[in-house]
Amino acid sequence: MARRSDKLKLGTFVYTFGYNPAGWLHPGSDVNGANDFSHLHKVAALSEAAAFDFMFLADSPAAAVGDPDGLARMPTKMNRFEPLTLLSALAVMTKHLGLVATASTSYYEPYNLARIFASIDHLSGGRACWNVVTSDHDETGYNFNRRGLDPHALRYERGREFVDVVFGLWDSFEADALLLDRASGIYYDQARHHTLNHAGKHFQVRGPLNIARSPQGRPVIAQAGGSEAGIALAAETAEIVFSLASNIERSRNFYATLKSRMASFDRAPDDLKVMPGVVVNVGRTEADARAKVQFLLDKLHPDAGRVMLQEFLEADLRGVPLDAPFPMDRLPQEAKGSRALFDELVAFVKQGHTVGELIRLFAEKHTGNGITGTPAQVADFMEEWFESRAADGFILMFPTLPSALEDFVELVVPELRRRGLFREAYEGSTLRQNLGLPVPPNRYTKARLA
Amino acid sequence: MARRSDKLKLGTFVYTFGYNPAGWLHPGSDVNGANDFSHLHKVAALSEAAAFDFMFLADSPAAAVGDPDGLARMPTKMNRFEPLTLLSALAVMTKHLGLVATASTSYYEPYNLARIFASIDHLSGGRACWNVVTSDHDETGYNFNRRGLDPHALRYERGREFVDVVFGLWDSFEADALLLDRASGIYYDQARHHTLNHAGKHFQVRGPLNIARSPQGRPVIAQAGGSEAGIALAAETAEIVFSLASNIERSRNFYATLKSRMASFDRAPDDLKVMPGVVVNVGRTEADARAKVQFLLDKLHPDAGRVMLQEFLEADLRGVPLDAPFPMDRLPQEAKGSRALFDELVAFVKQGHTVGELIRLFAEKHTGNGITGTPAQVADFMEEWFESRAADGFILMFPTLPSALEDFVELVVPELRRRGLFREAYEGSTLRQNLGLPVPPNRYTKARLA
């Protein structure tokens, strides 16, 4: 297998206290972090000092509901900074790091969101990225005039049109439109300024956007979602795809499929980076790494574990004693998440295990998910995925923040660099440049020059 | 007349280049300022060094349209930072200054906006303020699925409910709800955490909000709008009222009327600060000050002047030669803005003056509006308004930024301090404390303690 000529891309996934639900109970996280900017700034500064490509803010515009006993033990979704405000603050407190925030096409207006991301791109000097989601949690709909989620097809139809409108608004000013000419008194060239006049099924948006073309031409677009509609949208518009790192074979197939779909949109395979999310538990020794996993597992209260399991199974298990057999009538027919994990849990339940045992098993799967091991083992994992084109890089889901990020930077980054897999310093000044992504042409400039 | 025991409040009104449409042509503004954070940061730093209460970001979620020749000379509305992102960035780059941004109840979702302002309040350590507007420019509607503006009554009805929902969401966590107790594993007290379940005419929002109660209890609320509906909403909810400083008698009446309406909402008169917007042209001598006005007036191109006049008159004057008499059939029946100014313009037109002359007159009124004079004259003006209760302070509309702000800080602030009218240093750490505003009680805490 020929070595790839590019290097792998790395991003820090951010839940406040780390990806593990018990992360806030670990001394290596900041218990005040949910409302303390200095905590998130530290995560950004560590990521930037290590020359990571970006920091990725997960989000959902809703608190979780329905299981107060469990939720009071799981702060991540209950108390967090709003991601677009946090990203804006980080934009002026960092210099090189890419800044990714999640925002939903189901619950925003395209004019507002286009402005916000263009503005963050200006604030950061070209480091903004929008993680486009349609939202897939029922609870979000209840905060936005709906009784739960809109159907999947409707969400994607609206999402597709939403992205079109945003792209159109971002082209309002051509790159060379601003003259800033005090002598003539002309600020911008009328001929380089355009009104969108979008009239679609879900949106009527006239424009123009009231902010100049952004430093990156347009902010970078990230996406997750492995559904057919998600893949179609990603092949056309995404530049970072946040996938799952559960199985290398499946990931190679996903990688090849997605990249092969790009040609029909006149895009090169390298114009999109496939970056699986991976939980990393690294230690100086294997035992060390395993002990870190065990610490978090031991910290997880069954009430919190129940919330995790309920979310995965979409089943209500409140009031069922931990030592009772799993109530089979509450088992769904279909897996919402990983099919393989679902089948494993079902088989376990059918062996007659209790609810408490299933909660424990699920927590083990969740906590130990990804790669647990020495720096060399973690680097081996990443190298194999990268070289065999299962991934262009990784979105690192640290169980605790900042401590597991600190461990990774200290232990794994030097090993990746020794192998020539990861950069020593930033190549460019924008996220687009560091990811090796092209600047999309302005539609009007393109039409004029064609 | 007894001297007031409190001091006057000051805020910097921010259009990028200053309030004057020709501000960007003045060497004392930053021609790159629309997309350069360091410009706005400088304005904030100057305001903070002078111990101003706040910086006030005006906004409209639309570019102006309809007169390309004029608009290409008037950058303010065409190219600007999105205010909520800008406010977030300023939050972490300042320490004491209050941060006010405008956001419209007509074009946002209350859940998103409640999160955003709560988040900025946390980022800034309690210095956020939301300037509530319903938007009154036709052009905004076209960016949000509408054919122009919704009717005034509908906008206020929706705005009223929007504010209710936001206040409700801000109460989701009581002040003492967070336990952060690693020993027990309990992050927050369930009994202090509340779901709103709002089901109204315009909004159905379940909640709870996914962020802790903000450092100020809730962000400060600002408002403009002198309509009956606006006054009713302000008397109940506003803590800063941005009014007009055109006439001291009318302002005293407005001040007295508004404050007298607060009692029925169980509010004390001091719980709301009336702060007229005032254009300040200060010079070391009167001639100096007048020369500054004249400079800007001379810089204003008739195409730009036409846009200003058109906006005031809501009339289309494109294509009418400057030396032609004003076309009477384009004169509206009613004044949208100041009635006195409207009547003056109509009388001028009826004397047979040309379009060019009317543009010039309107520009003179606009540019010379407010107070032009020496430091002592400016301080006299402010003292009279303050002591006679026409104002609790002022929102300072500097013609150019940062130069006119620098002038004010150098020349007027020392004079105000000599007279004991303005603070030497911040009294508190939150905007609420500096303005002398009470912390609103959480509704659930209040109900429990009642």
Q: What percent of chain A has pLDDT over 90?
A: 85
Amino acid at residue number B405: L
Q: Is A272 left (phi over 0), alpha (psi -120 to 50) or beta?
A: beta
Q: Calculate how close chain B gets to A108, using CA atoms only, in Å.
A: 8
Task: Give the residue carrying structure tokens 């294509």.
Answer: B319
**Closest A-chain CA to B79:** A211
B220 with B237, same domain: the answer is yes
A169 with A302, same domain: the answer is no
How much is the pLDDT for A1? Answer: 54
Amino acid at residue number B43: V
A105 with A19, same domain: the answer is yes
Tally of CB atoms within 10 A around B227? 13
What ipTM, to 2 d.p.? 0.97
**Closest B-chain CA to A107:** B109
Report angle CA B112, B118, B124 to the nearest 5 degrees.
Answer: 135
Average pLDDT over residues A20-49: 97
Structure tokens at B396: 């300072």
Contact A190 B31 (CB under 8 A): no
Terminal Cα distance for chain A, rounded: 41
Contact A24 B182 (CB under 8 A): yes
B223 with B341, same domain: the answer is no
Is residue B441 domain-resident?
yes
Please give, one letter per residue, the 3-state secondary structure of chain B: CCCCCCCCEEEEEECCCCCCCCHHHCCCECCCHHHCHHHHHHHHHHHHHCCCCEEEECCCCCCCCCCHHHHCCCHHHCCCCCHHHHHHHHHCCCCCCEEEEEEECCCCCHHHHHHHHHHHHHHCCCCEEEEEECCCCHHHHCCCCCCCCCCHHHHHHHHHHHHHHHHHHHCCECCCCEEEECCCCEEECHHHECCCCEECCCCEECCCCCCCCECCECCEEEECCCCHHHHHHHHHHCCEEEEECCCHHHHHHHHHHHHHCCHHHCCCHHHCEEEEEEEEEECCCHHHHHHHHHHHHHHCCHHHHHHHHHHHHCCCCCCCCCCCECCHHHCCCCCCCCHHHHHHHHHHHHCCCEHHHHHHHHHHHHHHCCEEECHHHHHHHHHHHHHCCCCCEEEEECCCCEHHHHHHHHHHHHHHHHCCCCCCCCCCCCHHHHHCCCCCCCHHHHHHHC
- Cα–Cα distance between B295 and B299 in angstroms, integer? 6
pLDDT score of A47 more than 70: yes
Q: Residue A17: pLDDT band by 50, 70, 90 thresholds? A: very high
- Cα–Cα distance between B267 and B51 in angstroms, integer? 27
- Cα–Cα distance between B60 and A112 in angstroms, integer? 11
A198 with A97, same domain: the answer is yes
Contact B205 A143 (CB under 8 A): yes
The three-state secondary structure class of A360 is helix
Sign of CA dihedral B276, B279, B284, B288: negative
Question: Where is the domain boundary, A317, A346, A367?
Answer: A367
Q: Which residue, among A47, A193, A429, has the nearest Cα to B79 in the 3D structure?
A: A193
Contact B85 A88 (CB under 8 A): yes
Angle between helices A302-313 and A339-350 (to 10 degrees): 120
Q: Which domain holds residue B92?
A: 9-149+213-284+374-449
Q: Using a CB-CB distance cutoff of 8 angstroms, which residues of chain B are in contact with residue A304?
A: 185
Is residue A87 domain-resident?
yes
Q: What percent of chain A has pLDDT over 70?
A: 99
Amino acid at residue number B314: E
Question: Where is the domain boundary, A318, A335, A367?
Answer: A367
The three-state secondary structure class of A11 is strand
Contact A180 B89 (CB under 8 A): no
pLDDT digits (tens, 9 = 90+) for A169-223: 999 999 999 999 999 999 999 999 999 999 999 999 999 999 999 999 999 999 9
A226 with A276, same domain: the answer is yes
A292 with A269, same domain: the answer is no
Chain A and chain B share a number of CB contacts under 8 A equal to: 229
Is residue B292 domain-resident?
no
**Closest B-chain CA to A74:** B187
Taking 70 as the pLDDT cut, the residues of chain B under it are 1-2, 368
Candidates A73, A123, A193; nearest CB to B85: A123
Average pLDDT over residues A250-279: 96
Q: Using a CB-CB distance cutoff of 8 angstroms, which residues of chain A are in contact with residue B172?
A: 63
Structure tokens at A14: 């951010």
Average pLDDT over residues A414-433: 98
Q: Using a CB-CB distance cutoff of 8 angstroms, which residues of chain B are in contact with residue A89?
A: 88-89, 91-92, 123
Q: Which residue, among A368, A352, A355, A258, has the nearest Cα to A313 in the 3D structure?
A: A355
Is residue B26 domain-resident?
yes
Q: Using a CB-CB distance cutoff of 8 angstroms, which residues of chain A are in contact with residue B209?
A: 63
B239 with B121, same domain: the answer is yes
How much is the pLDDT for B314? Answer: 85
What CATH number is given to the structural domain containing A254? 3.20.20.30
Structure tokens at B168: 């409700």
B64 with B129, same domain: the answer is yes
How much is the pLDDT for B31? Answer: 97
- Cα–Cα distance between B41 and B44 in angstroms, integer? 5
Q: What is the DSSP secondary structure assignment for residue A270, as one 8-state letter?
A: G
Residue A250 main-chain phi, psi, to 5 deg = -60, -35
Contact B75 A123 (CB under 8 A): no
Candidates A37, A123, A188; nearest CB to B123: A37
Contact B145 A204 (CB under 8 A): yes
**Closest B-chain CA to A65:** B208
A21 with A142, same domain: the answer is yes
Q: Calculate how close chain A gets to B194, using CA atoms only, in Å.
A: 11
B253 with B399, same domain: the answer is yes
Contact B205 A144 (CB under 8 A): yes
Q: Residue A336: pLDDT band by 50, 70, 90 thresholds? A: confident
Tally of CB atoms within 10 A around B52? 28
Structure tokens at B280: 């300040």
- Cα–Cα distance between A124 and B399 in angstroms, integer? 28
Is residue B62 domain-resident?
yes
Is residue A100 domain-resident?
yes
pLDDT digits (tens, 9 = 90+) for A125-154: 999 999 999 988 889 999 999 888 889 899
Among A90, A112, A214, A297, most B C-beta atoms within 10 A, so best to mutate, is A112
Q: Calculate how close chain A gets to B152, using CA atoms only, in Å.
A: 21
Contact B122 A81 (CB under 8 A): yes
Q: Is B257 a known ligand-binding residue? A: no
CB B55 within 8 A of CB B90: yes
Q: Residue A2: pLDDT band by 50, 70, 90 thresholds? A: low
Report angle CA B9, B14, B15 to the nearest 5 degrees.
Answer: 150
Spatial CB neighbours of A363, under 8 Å, sequence gap ≥ 6? A297, A300, A305, A308, A309
Question: Where is the domain boundary, B367, B393, B418?
Answer: B367
How many residues are given for chain A? 450
**Closest B-chain CA to A189:** B72
pLDDT score of A432 more than 60: yes
Contact A81 B142 (CB under 8 A): no
Structure tokens at B173: 């966590």
Give the CA dihedral A105, A108, A112, A118, nearest 10 degrees.
-40
Candidates B78, B111, B212; nearest CB to A188: B78
The b/e string for B160-179 (b: 16+ C-beta within 10 A; e otherwise) is bbbbbbbbbbbbbbbbebbe
B244 with B362, same domain: the answer is no
Structure tokens at A355: 């609810």
- Give me chain A's average pLDDT, please: 95
Structure tokens at A403: 């401590």
Is residue B161 domain-resident?
no
Higher pLDDT, A45 or B5: A45
Q: Which residue, among B236, B241, B229, B222, has the nearest Cα to B267 in the 3D structure?
A: B236
Is residue A4 domain-resident?
no
Count the domains in chain A. Answer: 2
